Amino acid sequence: MRYLFVPACAAALFLALAGGATAGSSLTLHPAGFGTMSYSAWKAQQGTVDDQGSANQALYFQKMTSTTTVAAGVAVINGVEGLPVDDLTGLSWWHREDGHCGAGAPRWNVGVQDGTGKRYTVFLGCNAAQHHETGVTTNGFGWCQDTQLSPAAAIRSATGVATGELTITGLAIVFDEGNDTANPPPTGCAQMGLTGGFVYLDNIDVQVGGMDHCWTSASDNGNAPAAACDPPAGTSSTGSTATLGLPAGLSVDPTDSALVTGMGIADPNVPPAAWLLYPNVIY
């Protein structure tokens, strides 16, 4: 398992989120992004079978520019803030194998705080996760499961602080490696695309206190029961895989203090006006 950390005050080019929701089935995922040709959004007919409906959604991340450009596709997960780090018992997703699974993106960013108020950001990258072929294909591309087996242990090792002394300040999925960064095949995945710039994720699982919350689509946001991802079977060919361009995003409401604060923690050099939210499913 690969992990990195920096004190929060030094994390200008990395992303961590904080807020104030509660855990359990109230977990919510918010696709967003900032910068050139970079965003995250749910896309229909690009993923595996959904828990509800027949849209077969996948969460798409794009950074169609250089890695050095300050830009990223981001998904903010609210509902774990204030919990003990030991309560974070699992993190995983499936990535479609035409997309990027690098050392640094997509990655989990876990924000934590110790008893003195010092904050850290721990990064759990895709390529160094444990990988498992699922046997499922969509639009001719296979899927590989990427699992961070013990987030709390990684956080303890990265920060040097006992997890009993740490609380979670935020959680996000970050895609900030561009289309000029090589896409090394992850061990255990039958990788089918070796160029960067985008990735589709599905069956995104956050496990809190041994209880899973799975996102198979936007419909699992907040109102779905806490449950593990049920592995779908079979194959499908459901639509175009074209990915370039930017959809219409929504500006951040400057009066939404929780969101503005979270984005300031994500990257203090990016003003709220530069962020866009992508709450709608793209068909």
What does the domain layout of the chain look like in residue ranges? 3-277
Its pTM stands at 0.88
Bridge partners of residue 208, in order along the sequence: 88, 211
Span 28-65, pLDDT tens digits? 899 999 999 999 999 999 999 998 888 999 999 999 99
Of the candidates 167, 185, 159, the residue with the CA atom closest to the CA atom of residue 86? 167
258: confidence class by pLDDT, cuts 50, 70, 90: low
3-class state of residue 63 by DSSP: strand
The torsion of the CA quartet 181, 126, 146, 240, rounded to 10 degrees, works out to -40
18: confidence class by pLDDT, cuts 50, 70, 90: very low
Q: Which residue has the tokens 């991340």?
A: 61
Please name the residues in contact with 155: beta carbons below 8 A apart, sequence gap of 6 or more: 3, 85, 88, 110, 112, 120, 122, 163, 166
The reported pLDDT for the residue numbered 261 is 60
Span 114-123, pLDDT tens digits? 999 999 999 9
Q: What percent of the chain has pLDDT over 70?
A: 81
**CA-CA distance, 116 to 95, in Å (whole number)?**
37
Rg (CA), the chain: 17
Contact 19, 45 (CB under 8 A): no
Q: What are the phi and psi torsion angles at 136 (to 5°)?
A: -110, 140
Total count of residues recorded for the chain: 283
177: confidence class by pLDDT, cuts 50, 70, 90: very high
Please name the residues in contact with 260: beta carbons below 8 A apart, sequence gap of 6 or more: 252, 254, 272
Q: How far apart are the first and last CA of the chain?
A: 35
